[in-house]
Chain A
Amino acid sequence: MVETILFVLAALAALAGAVTVVLARNPIYSAVGLLGTLFSVAILYVVQLAHLVAAVQVIVYAGAVMTLFLFVIMLIGVDKEENREETLPRQRFWVGSVAGVIVLFAAGVALFGDFAWVPAAGDPVDQEMTNGTVQAIAEPLFTDWVLAFEATALLLTIAAAGAIVLAQFRRKRV
């Protein structure tokens, strides 16, 4: 019952935030809408007992990434109006078709989604739910996935170095 209420509230907030991202004319409003969506999705993670991932979502996404977004919005200015006239012929038609197909798919999943989820071997589904605590996540992370974990460390270093190279000020070469 609690899960249902939380799901409905968080889902509505997430959808409202997502629509704001797309429709807002000012990028600041888009960023705030995205922030709302990220928090709502974090709530949905907590509802599904993914505690660590929810915390990381709030700290990394809502904290670090959105701050970066807001900084860049301030840096490049928010006062420019976006050009909204059509440049591709029949763009709206194709966008509408793709959207319709995905909406039908989503409705089908929701209504007829009586999944035959196959649980991992020897793991009956009706036992207590997997609890995503720090300890529970750390065990597969540092055993089965340790190589991928080290690779992401390398990736982050490369990304930070790349960002510094891209962002450093250069005199205009002619």
Chain B
Amino acid sequence: MVPVGWYMALAAALFLIGALGMLLRRNALVMFMCIELMLNAVNLTLISAGRALNDLNGQVAVFFILVVAAAEVVVGLAIIVAIFRRRATASVDELSELRG
């Protein structure tokens, strides 16, 4: 049996890569994918902790996170498309004004 620490380390690495992508990339779509990456890293920690504690509630929590993430993706992508229609760009650097 692989120790839980290894799963946690893998999740930390995935979260780190996601956070770095969030900081380094300018494309709104790629930044959004990095958010998904970080969410998945957190899900992995919940599953692993649930197994280590022999508790099903970790998996239930992941279930809820999946649902909320799906809702978040729908709204986020709609916002990106709406911005692109108006400004013809997906780069967050060029979206420096609050007015449409």
A69 touching B29, Cβ below 8 Å:
yes
B37 touching A68, Cβ below 8 Å:
no
Q: A34-B37, A82-B25, A162-B78 are in contact. Are A45 and B6 (CB under 8 A)?
A: no
A141 touching B14, Cβ below 8 Å:
no
B21-60 interface mask toward A, CB cutoff 8 Å, 1 = contact, 0 = none?
1011111011011101100100110011111111111011
B19 touching A102, Cβ below 8 Å:
yes
B98 at the interface (CB under 8 A from A): no
Residue of B nearest to A76 (CB): B84
Bound-complex Cα distance A157 to B30 (A): 26
Question: Which residues of the partner chain A approach B15 to less than 8 Å between Cβ atoms?
Answer: 102
> In the complex, how many angstroms separate the beta carbon of A76 from the nearest chain B beta carbon?
5
B16 touching A103, Cβ below 8 Å:
yes
Option from B18, B44, B57, B93 in Cβ contact (under 8 Å) with A41 = B44
Q: A53-B59, A120-B53, A125-B54 are in contact. Are A73 and B13 (CB under 8 A)?
A: no
Question: Which residues of the partner chain A approach B49 to less than 8 Å between Cβ atoms?
Answer: 117
The number of residue pairs between A and B whose CB atoms lie closer than 8 Å in the complex comes to 240
Bound-complex Cα distance A69 to B35 (A): 13
> In the complex, how many angstroms separate the beta carbon of B36 from the nearest chain A beta carbon?
6
Question: Which residues of the partner chain B approach A162 to less than 8 Å between Cβ atoms?
Answer: 74-75, 78
Question: Which residues of the partner chain A approach B72 to less than 8 Å between Cβ atoms?
Answer: 159
B57-93 interface mask toward A, CB cutoff 8 Å, 1 = contact, 0 = none?
1011011101111111111011111101100011101
Residue of A nearest to B84 (CB): A76
A1-38 interface mask toward B, CB cutoff 8 Å, 1 = contact, 0 = none?
00110010001001100110110000100110010011
Residue of B nearest to A21 (CB): B33
B59 touching A132, Cβ below 8 Å:
yes
> In the complex, how many angstroms separate the beta carbon of B75 from the nearest chain A beta carbon?
5
> In the complex, how many angstroms separate the beta carbon of A132 from the nearest chain B beta carbon?
5
A156 touching B70, Cβ below 8 Å:
yes
B4 touching A72, Cβ below 8 Å:
no
A37 touching B4, Cβ below 8 Å:
no
A166 touching B79, Cβ below 8 Å:
yes
A109 touching B5, Cβ below 8 Å:
yes
A-B contacts, 9 listed (Cβ < 8 Å):
A30-B33, A41-B14, A41-B44, A82-B91, A106-B13, A113-B3, A115-B5, A137-B63, A167-B78
Excluding A53-B59, A76-B29, 7 further A-B contacts by CB distance (< 8 Å) are A11-B6, A15-B13, A49-B51, A75-B81, A83-B93, A113-B8, A163-B75
